[in-house]
Amino acid sequence: MNLPNKLTLARLVLVALLLVLLTVPFPYAMSLALLVFIVASVSDYLDGYLARRVYGESAFGRLMDPLADKVMVCAAFVSFVDLGLVPAYIVVIIISREFLVTGLRLLAVEKREIIPAGKWGKHKTVWQIAAIIVILLGLAVRHDILGDADAALLRDYDLAFEHIAYAVSIAVALITVGSGYLYFMENRELIRRNL
């Protein structure tokens, strides 16, 4: 197994660690969650770069790299629902788009075609990662820096943070839907041929 594929698998392990950090309360868990997510995001960039420039792409990498990305993003957003920061319907939109695109790719594979990741899908992933980092940063500040602050300050922070988390998640949902629409439009001929 080459280094890019090892990084992909390591990202899945980091996602499991992220879930633990977001659900098991202990000191500085949110700051560690932020750090783990950033490391996982950097590994996503590195494995793609190394696969394209050094090691060559593999069938395993073409399948598992985008799936690891989807697991990473979906796990974070589902955790945010559990923490009361993001409405469930937004996460359903994000996950539905990922299932639909994966289904289209499976259809293409069955027809011996390859649908590469589009530029809008890459933009979508970058925005999703940025949104998750913003929310994790807000959690880290709230729990690990302001933990014992004045009650009035915490109330104001919580209100502002809830609004920011909601606005960021709505923006990501819109970008996710838009990129999915463009992806299906770019591949509508494949869909038409198989209806």
Per residue in 52-85, pLDDT (tens digit) is 888 877 777 777 888 888 899 999 999 999 999 9
Here the tokens at position 102 are 């994966």
* Residue 45: per-residue pLDDT: 87
Which CATH code of 3.60.15.10, 1.20.120.1760, 3.40.190.10, 3.30.70.2860 fits the domain covering 3-193? Answer: 1.20.120.1760
- For residues 90 and 131, is the Cβ–Cβ distance under 8 A? no
**Claim: this prediction has a pTM higher than 0.95:** no
* Residue 4: per-residue pLDDT: 83
Distance of alpha carbon 185 from alpha carbon 195, whole angstroms: 15
Per residue in 82-140, pLDDT (tens digit) is 999 999 999 999 999 988 988 888 888 777 777 766 778 888 989 999 999 999 999 99
Nearest in space to 58 (alpha carbons), one of 113, 2, 117, 115:
2
